[in-house]
Each structure stands twice: as C-alpha cells, then as structure tokens.
Amino acid sequence: MINYRLFTALTSELAQGHLITFPGSALLLENQLRDNPLIAELVAQAEQGKLADTRFGCGPFSRITLLPLSVWQDSLTDSLLTHIRPLFAAPVCEDVLLDCSDIDDTVLAKTLRFLFNQAHKLTDLGLKTVGERGVTLRRVNAFCAGTDASRLERVFAQQQAIANGMVAARRLADIPSEQCTPQFVVEEAQRLCATVPNLRCEVLDESAIVEQGLGLLHAVGKGSSRPPRLLAIHYDGASSGPVRSYVGKGITFDTGGLWLKEGAGMYTMKYDMCGAANVLGLMLSIAELKLPVRVMGVLALAENAIGPNAMQPGSVARACNGMTVEINNTDAEGRLVLSDAIAWASKRHEQTRYIIDLATLTGAVVKALGYELSGLMTQDNTLRSALTVAGEQSGDEVWSLPLDARLKKQTESAIADLCNTPTNNAAISASAAWLLHHFCPAYIPWAHLDVSGTALWREGGKSVASGRPIPLLMQHLLNDLAVEE
C-alpha cells in the first residue's frame, strides 16, 4: 500500500523526492528553490504549454516536473494524467510531492487514484521473470495551504481507500483464468475479507445454486469442469437500516460457449469477471472507510465453457424468481448470471435501498460510448441523476441510454417468458438491460452499468484491469449517505 502525508511548507523530509508543480506556485518561492536558475527555465517552458521535467540540478529534490497551470484544472480530458503517466512507468523516486495548492477537485481525485494505484503492476503477479526490481513509489506527499489541510486529509483518505479497493480488484482480474476460477475468486475474497471487521462471506456452491433455483447461473456454469459459485459479501457497518446491494458479473473466462467466439475475440475474456472483481474491491473500500451503512455485494461466478454439458442454443432455463429464459445465444451469458443474481439479491433482504449491477456486458456499448464512459441504464430517474452527478464529481463518468417498453420486442420468446438476445441484432446494450430489469422487483430502485469500455485500461496495444467503476460507486454511496444525514 502507498501511504500519504500532507505538508504546508518544504521540510528536510521531502528531500530527494519528485516534485510536481506549476508556474506561479508558492513552492517555487521557497528558499531552497527561489535562487535556482534552472527553475526559471522550467517555468518558461511550462508557460508555453509544455511539460518541463529535469533530474539535473534540482536540489533538494531528485526530480522536478512543472506542468502548465491549465492542466491542473482540466477535468474533462485528463491532460494532467496524460503528462505524468509516462513519468511513473519507471519512477526514479520513492516519494512524490504533488502541489495541491491550485488544482481542480476532480483532477485531484483522479490523480491521487492514479498514484495510489501504482501499488499494482502486472509483474507483481510473479509470472514474468524480471531483473532487479527498480524504484517503486511508496509515498504520496501533498503541498497545500494550512487552511486546506483538513479538507485535503479527508480527500486523501477517501481516495486512498478507493484506490486500495481498485488495486485488489485489478490484481484479481489480471490473474490468468486457468488459475482464477470461480472457486479461486471465492477463496481470494474470503482471504481478503477474513481480517476486515464487519465483512463476512456467504457462498453457494453448485449444489446450493441448483437447490435455490438459480437455473440461469447453473445453465451458464454447467458446461465447465470448474463449477459456478454465487458469493455474497456482507458489510455490517450499521446494526439496522436499508441495505445497498451491488451485483457483479463474474464470468472467469468466456469462450462464447457453443456460440464460439473467434480466437481474437477470446484474448481478453479473462477480464469478463471485472464486474465481480470490482464489487469485491468496492466492499473492501467501504470497509476501509468504516462507513456507517449496510451493504451487500453479490458475485455471480461461472466459466462459460464448451463441454458435453454446455448449454445449447434454444434451451430454456428458469431463474430463481420463476421466470424462464430462452437461451438463443450462448455468448450472451453475462445477462443470464446477472439476472439470477439480481433476483436472488432482491429477496435476500427485506429492506433494500437500491440494487446496482455492473458488468462487462456488451461490445455494443463501446461502439456507442467509447472507452471513457460507462453505459447507464435505469428506469429510476432519482438513481440515474445521482449516478450521473457522482460520475462527474469522481471523474468516473456514465452516460445514460434509453430503457423503456419500446425494447419489449427485443426480448420476446415464443417458448419462454423472455429470450436472452434480440434476433434482429439491434439495441444490444439496451436490450440486455431490458432483460435484466425483469429480475428486480419494481419497488426496488435498480440500475445497470455496462462497463465493457471502462473496466480495462488500454495502452500500447495491451489491456489491463482499470478498477472502474469503483470510484463512481464510492462517490455515489458517499453522496447517498450525506443525503440521509
């Protein structure tokens, strides 16, 4: 874990660190920097809109980076992160000093999460032979005005907790699916939750899944030699009150089943469990902040494999709420496991404030919204508004797509209550959400987040888990608790 400290003046404790600041900052007037002629050159370069960076003649620091003031206020295009991300591909200092004296709140939150997320690299999985480990970031220091210290302490604590949950989710999602099976996810969640107060795990194995009537989850998982699991993580930060529920799609590998994907389409399918991994990370973040609330996270875990028992196109399965679904496409399995998990979650507690599900569900949402925005589908206007605002505040934004009865024909079946994909291949993302809405009772506010574009970070032709939308969901929860107060 990467720690943090707040400073209102330069001290010897910050020597040999990496300073990131901007022209006009009060930091540059400190005695240690004021008379350094190199600073004037860096300021001039940054004022021209360029990154100014040096590791020469910048005592008492080992590295100084100056960025134009405009990027510290740019919450839309992430230009601050665009500038500093390459600097941390191979950091040269264990400490970074981030100038927080004139920075937009959303930019600060996103930057802090990026820095705290440096606690996880793919090489940490131990699967690649590497030479001597280089310098790693260990502390994030902040320079701020004394009057701002109390507010920033809360911001840093919240963003550190959010990032810690993201790191846990990313580590789990990055593990190859040969190891990261449904049972492995359960055991990893149990291990992580065992030492955290107020967190407890409830597990349904393949027998319990059948006994409790989760026929859709069973249908998806029965073709694999690695059987499905339903994992519920309960957080009891309050003795009473409504329960907030989050449901995550956990397809630990998706071949497409008998509706087989092509090879290139399977390459990133170990990440089809990012929704479930992020629900686990979210629960860890909530527990770390000791929030006074009751929360349940449900992970619907299965491997969509090919085998003699694999579900077949045209088969019909029954969910735990009694509804039947015609499976006309075995590669539309995520909505099946989510449907059962949503229905199960809706019955688990008498008083549910809302259910939010998150899933790498459709490639169509990427075509619609790209890689920066998560798709939001809900019929609850209050929940839609709250999630949209939380997305803007956290920098982990959503965009609302339509969800109403005009989609009804997309899920009609002649043999069952519903079919899992539209036969006309239209409105794929919204049609999936329309299917899902049948499994949450109308009296419980429900929203669906399609994070196919945002759950991965793509750079240099490679994809890794991003930990989104944990920041969005944490900000929404914090806002919701503030409303209750």
Mean of the per-residue pLDDT values for the chain? 95
| Domain spans in the chain, listed from the N-terminal domain onward | 3-145, 164-483
The structural architecture, per CATH, of the domain 164-483 is 3-Layer(aba) Sandwich (3.40)
Catalytic residue at 5? no
Q: pLDDT-derived band of residue 459, with 50, 70 and 90 as boundaries?
A: confident
**DSSP assignment of 295-341, as one string?**
EEEEEEEEEE--STT---TTEEEE-TTS-EEEES-TT--HHHHHHHH
- Which pLDDT tens digit goes with each residue over 234-276? 999 999 999 999 999 999 999 999 999 998 889 999 999 999 9
Helix 105-116 × helix 381-394 angle, to 10°:
70
Say if residue 132's pLDDT is above 80: no
- Which pLDDT tens digit goes with each residue over 330-365? 999 999 999 999 999 999 998 999 999 999 999 999
Distances in Å between the Cα of 363 and the Cα atoms of 169, 302, 368, 428, 454 are 21, 20, 9, 9, 11
What pLDDT does residue 292 have? 97
CATH class as words, domain 3-145: alpha beta
* Contact partners, residue 27, CB within 8 Å, separation at least 6: 10, 19, 21, 33, 99, 101, 143
pTM for this model (two decimals)? 0.96
For β-strands 229-236 and 294-304, DSSP reports them as: antiparallel
Catalytic residue at 261? yes
Write out the two tokens for 353. 């404030």
Lowest mean pLDDT among 11-15, 113-117, 210-214, 279-283: 11-15
Which of 138, 139, 261, 348 is catalytic? The answer is: 261
Which of 110, 335, 353, 384 is catalytic? The answer is: 335
Q: pLDDT-derived band of residue 485, with 50, 70 and 90 as boundaries?
A: low
